[in-house]
Structure 1
Amino acid sequence: MAVFQHPGRHALAVLVRHGVLPMELGLIHQLFGGARSAAGEPLYEVVTCAPEPGEIRTDADFPVRVAHGPEALAQARTVLIPASHEEDGAAPDGRLSPGAARALAAIRPGTRVASVCTGSFALAAAGLLDGRPATTHWRSAERFRALYPAVRLDEDVLYTDDGDILTSAGEAAGIDLCLHMIRRDHGAAVATGVARTTVVPPHRDGGQAQYIPRPVPEPRTASTARARAWALEHLDRPLTLGELAARESMSVRTFSRRFRAEVGLTPVQWLTQRRLEYARQLLEETDLPVDRVAAAAGFGTGASLRQHLQAALGVSPSAYRGTFRGPGALPVRAADAGPAVRTAG
């Protein structure tokens, strides 16, 4: 029996499991369901299925009733798997539940398969990600890596595209992935139209790295604390290892060795992180031009700041500011933007 009723549309099956996140399920239907041709015709037919038809628990206080089973997966051109709070990574050995295993086995060879958030656990457990790039929510990355060491996990990106296998990070990154798939299938104009209707950016720069808290490691002893405190007061000027070592009356070699033992980073790495922290603060909280931000944070030029921010977060200073600059940003003058005053950790 045919599950999909419109042969001219792209057949997309969404496999839901107990513990599905309603937001993820809804955004898939919203985005793909909103893709239209120039004549206004739907380009996708989206069907929800489950390992067994019937009532599926969500992670909210209401269930969803699913009419279709794995037969939809066997007929689909694309299969999309949202996260399940009950199943993803729940088994100590990382194996699929029997129902999910049977459902995934119904997918035809050559079908495009994608996951949202920790839905990648299901793909990995089925062996579909072995030797391939993938991502998942950054909070689950450590467990994912331990369960599926054969997968080339990259927890810093918003999504991965390896042709017939795609994965995305958290729930909102599922929007990025769906728009990317629509763009790949039908071009930028269609994807931009969907984004505009949904009131989301058609494309986000960067990756998960810009959303992950990454505190600088706290030192275990205090033999380089004075140098760190002094450096934080002078981030806007060039700082040499010799100057820092002199603050502690050490040779450069001894200072570098003790610094790394205490902080877990080289002095240069630590300085770069602190400068990036301060630059990010200025981009979020002020309207200073990028060149002024770069100078205040000790990067010297806007080009240097762009290079460092791109390497660390995958975004430009203007893109970062556009995402994170709050409505209360202050019109700070360049003369007021001194180095950050923080603890010496």
Structure 2
Amino acid sequence: MRTLSDMHTVALATAGHLLHFELAVAYEIFRTPPQEVTDGWYDVLLCGPGPVRIGPFMVEPDHGLERLISADTVIVPACADIDEPPPPELVEAVRAAHEAGARVASLCTGAFALGAAGLLDGRRATTHWAHTAELSARHPQAVVDPDVLYTDNGSVLTAAGKAAAVDLCIHLIHLDHGAGIANTVARRLVMPPHRPGGQAQFVATPMQVSGDHMLASLLAWARERLDQPLTVTDLARRANTSPRNLGRQFRAVTGQTPLQWLLTQRVRRAQELLEATDESVEAVAVATGMGTATTLRRQFKRIAGVPPDSYRRSFRTTRTS
């Protein structure tokens, strides 16, 4: 197993159509050591088949993709278009690097390259919430989790969307240099200390249901009544179907049971109220059908990853008079 050497090599793969944010973030974080580290930091390499345009920028790699194979850590940034398959030469280089013992991490939609290389099979993985369903469909042997910031399987790691890419980079520093240095880097970036990967992506995931689907009007109807004690029987009666058929439809469209979906929507509504109002946690619990503050706190922490009060402090909308 490789250990952190005096100059741990981090290779950033610059192949295909990339998004500049994730590449720039990883380059900045791993290239600049904090003052507390006098030796043993990272040697950052850009590795690709040739110059690549990323938005308005041209990126000139230092090495070819073959250099990934001898790197200690390989990072695959986000791809700009998931409908375009990852370049075969990138997939092969990532697979070879992992087989050679490299730690391989993806940022956002870079997970599709790891999936194409077979690195996600049998492992937990994530990507931006808007693309987790597609990642799961393309790589059914992967255990795709849409509700986490990042996953760590030891030698294979994946991050969700943009801000979570920063979290994963900080997590890697935490693994290599400890919490103190990781938090120093976070402070330099003017962000909170290292966040655990199990914390939920702070996003209300929209359900895309076509207008002629039996659930289209039902989901809208239920969202308008989240303060009420809805049951599966109530939903089935509204949809004019049996509870069993309703359950099948919900799992096919949302990936959840009707009750799981309802609970998720109640928490999402609670997030909105915590951000935009001064209502107490008790009042938010009533407004979202949770009943009591105790129930809200328990379910909110389970789904959102943090208590309601912490969420409000982080995401409170600033209102002007």
TM-score by length of 1: 0.74
Q: Secondary structure at the match of 2:290?
A: coil
Residues 277/154 of structure 1: CA separation in 2 closer, same or farther (3 Å cut): closer
Matched, 1:126 2:117: yes
Long gaps (5+) in structure 2: 210-214, 251-256
1:212 to 2:205 alignment: yes
Q: Taking structure 1 as reference, are residues 297 and 77 closer, same or farther at Cα in structure 2, changes over 3 Å only?
A: same
Mapped partners of 2:318, 2:237: distance in 1: 42
1:287-341 Cα deviation digits (max 9, x unpaired):
33423433454434322111121233223202321332111189xxxxxxxxxxx
Does 2:64 match 1:69? yes
Counterpart position of 1:288: 279
Q: Is the 8 A contact 2:65 2:93 kept in 1?
A: yes
- One-letter amino acid of the counterpart of residue 259, structure 1: R
Please tell me whether residue 55 in structure 1 is matched to residue 51 in structure 2: yes
* 1:146-187 C-alpha deviation (Å, 9 max, x unpaired): 221121111221110001100011122110111111111111
1:121-270 residue pairs with structure 2 within 5 A? 121-204=112-195, 206-208=199-201, 210-214=203-207, 218-219=216-217, 235=227, 239=229, 255=234, 257-259=236-238, 261=240
Aligned match of 1:36 in 34, 37, 52?
Answer: 34
- Structure 1 residue 8, shift from structure 2 partner: 0.8
User: How many angstroms apart in 1 are the aligned matches of 2:17 and 2:238?
Assistant: 47
- 3-state DSSP class of the match of 2:151? strand
Structure 2 distance, partners of 1:323, 1:306, is: 16
Quote the residue 1:16 is aligned against: 14
Q: What is the CA–CA distance in structure 1 between the aligned matches of 2:314 and 2:169, rounded to whole Å?
A: 20
What does 1:302-313 align with in structure 2 at a 5 Å threshold?
302-313=293-304
SS in 2 for 1:12: strand
Correspondence for 1:100 among 81, 90, 107: 90
8 Å contact from structure 1 (residues 36, 43) kept in 2 = no
- CA RMSD of superposed structures (Å): 3.4
Distance 1:116-1:256 versus aligned 2 partners, 3 A rule: closer
Retained in 1: the 8 A contact 2:127–2:146?
Answer: yes
Query: Secondary structure of the equivalent of 2:217?
Result: coil
Amino acid at match of 1:90: E
Instruction: Tell me if the contact between 2:276 and 2:316 (Cα under 8 Å) persists in the aligned partners.
Output: yes
Pairwise CA distance, 1:131: 1.2
Cα distance between partner residues in 1 of 2:65 and 2:265: 52
The answer (yes or no) to whether the contact 1:70–1:106 under 8 Å persists in 2 is: no
Q: Give the letter for the 2:309 counterpart.
A: S
Identity fraction in percent: 40
Q: 1:261 to 1:267 in 2, by over 3 A?
A: farther
Distance 1:178 1:148, change over 3 A: same
Indicate the structure (1 or 2) with the bigger Cα radius of gyration: 1
Contact kept? 1:21, 1:85, Cα under 8 Å: yes
**Local SS of the residue matching 2:154:** coil
Number of residue-to-residue matches in the alignment: 298
Question: C-alpha separation between the residues in 1 aligned to 2:95 and 2:78?
Answer: 18
Scaled by the length of structure 2, the TM-score of the pair is 0.79
Contact in 1 for aligned 2:95/2:118 (Cα 8 Å) = no
Task: Please tell me whether the aligned partners of residues 9 and 43 of structure 1 are also in contact (alpha carbons under 8 angstroms).
Answer: yes
